[in-house]
Amino acid sequence: MINIPFISLIVILFYVAPSAQALKSWYTPPGGTPAGSVAGDKVRGVNLGGWFILENWMMPSFFEDEVLKDTYINDEWVYCSYLGKEECLNRLEKHWDSYITEDDFKRFANYSLNTVRIPMGYWSWTDPEEYEPYIQGQLPYLERALNWSSWYGLDVLMDLHGLPGGQNGQDNQGYKGPIEFQNNATNMERAMDALANMTKFVTQDKFDGVVKAIQLTNEPYILEYSSNGMDFNVLADFYVQGYNTVRANEHILSGSNEVMVVIHDAFQPVLNWKYFWSQESMGLNWTNYALDTHIYDAFGGSNLKTYQEHLDTICAQAAAISEAQTYFPVIVGEFSLGTNTYCVDYQSCFGLSLDEVISNITSSYEANLFMRQFWEVQSDVYELGAGWIFWSVHHELAGPWSWTQSAAQNWLPEDPTEKIWPFYSNTSSYCLDTYNPIQGDQNMPYFPTYANNYTNIDISTVTRKYYVNSTGSEAIANSTSVTSTGDSTVNSSSSATSNSTSSATPAASASQREMLIVGVWTSLLLVLVSITLMV
């Protein structure tokens, strides 16, 4: 006789069995359907911003000590210039070691994210000139992050965030000042050298294909966007040379596809880029590429908008993203829950606590509920494209710009597919029906009334994925290049000031991990079925 409790247990196991989180394919075959076009199979990620390129507004306490507090630090250039290279290296090594930890990757996995975007400056990949104050030593920490990505089932998009001479004049390029990338040929040569070295490093066998995409640069300004920007043809030439450099230097694993090459839209309408990929002198003959667009509603008077106007601003993006996705993958590589620039000037919130800042932002349940609505409308609209990547992982004070704090405040759901309100993709306003929750008002979420520490997020059940080693047997993912002393682990045999190329035990490819997990669960279910039939 069949035992009903055992049947119930089997059903439960099927329900809780882990499913593949990663984007099924980062590859678009020539003339094929763009990657990320299948509903539910989307890039869902977070940026590791502020880690390898300092942005003062994200970590004000980093600049608040006795040595620095009376000096306005614009960027990493000024930071290292003021401190000197030796002291700068000492401080940045501590920052690289502690700002991103293995626990962060556990939280990403716990929230069913599948991608991390890692911004880095050119100086990490090619020697700084004598006059440049930048220091190196980032790569052992990057290697650790690539291993963590493998262990917890996340893909990686590498981003050359800053170019020699600067491509946008902002602190995120490393130096806040003029845009000078286009001023001499040496800058282009150094950029290609950096792209070549980055591509060679991250596509090594030991990383087993965890890097699925390489972005040529971040947010370049062209004349159509800013009078201080570069001519479009200069940017187009950089993109063409950059694409060829990646293709010439990537190592493609047996049975795998080439990496996706990602370009930023330079703040032009996403559909304009059909032109670039239709021109023989530009991108006509490219294979496996995507467009990165960044959508923020926090600048230019956005702080004066009503909640509904913020939601409608995002609704208005739906048609263009949806149409562009039929031609090429569209990834919203940066967005946030920020609707103002409160605490964005890092000194403006010196001395404030996170509790004070959170209470100023969300003084009522309605304000918290808007945060959840703003998250939901953005995820809905951006998944009309190939997906989204939140900016950024941490912010000490401005919670809506911090993925970890937004998760801790319950503005982000633990399951990104969880929806509260109906979404209508064909409407340019009121596309999120906030008046008619799917489950009814009685199922509105709970929000902490205080600044919840993101370390309170329970990650105790998150474990490293399995991989199949060279002998074909199962093993727990581990890295011989890293000495484990908790989260603050780093390559013990490599100088932190050199570009590490130490070997690491390979983590599984996505298909290997999925097959092994499915096999383990299938075996367990077969055992349970056998027991059931014998009872």
Instruction: Tell how far CA 271 is from the center of its chain.
Output: 23
Q: Is the peptide bond before 392 cis (omega within 30 degrees of 0)?
A: yes
Q: How many helices (H) and strands (E) does the chain have?
A: 14, 10
Contact 51, 105 (CB under 8 A): no
Beta bridge partner(s), residue 475: 467
CB 196 within 8 A of CB 137: no
Return the closest-CA partner of residue 36 out of 290, 375, 413. 290
Both tokens of 97, joined, read 């070691």
Is residue 51 within a helix (H) or strand (E), and if so which, with residue range?
A: none
* Residue among 436, 334, 344 at smallest CA distance from 378: 334
Type of residue found at 278: S
Residue 311 in contact with residue 375, Cβ under 8 Å? Answer: no
3-state SS assignment for residue 457? coil
H/E stretch holding 44 reads: strand 43-47
State yes or no: is 514 an active-site residue.
no
3-state secondary structure of 405: helix
Catalytic residue status for 219: yes
Residue 336 · residue 405 · CB < 8 Å? no
Question: Per the residue annotation, which of 55, 334, 383, 514 is the catalytic one?
Answer: 334
Query: Of the listed 93, 102, 219, 383, which one is catalytic?
Result: 219
Assigned token pair, 364: 């009522």
Strands, E assignment, 433-533: 466-468, 474-476
Query: Any idea which residues carry the catalytic annotation?
Result: 219, 334
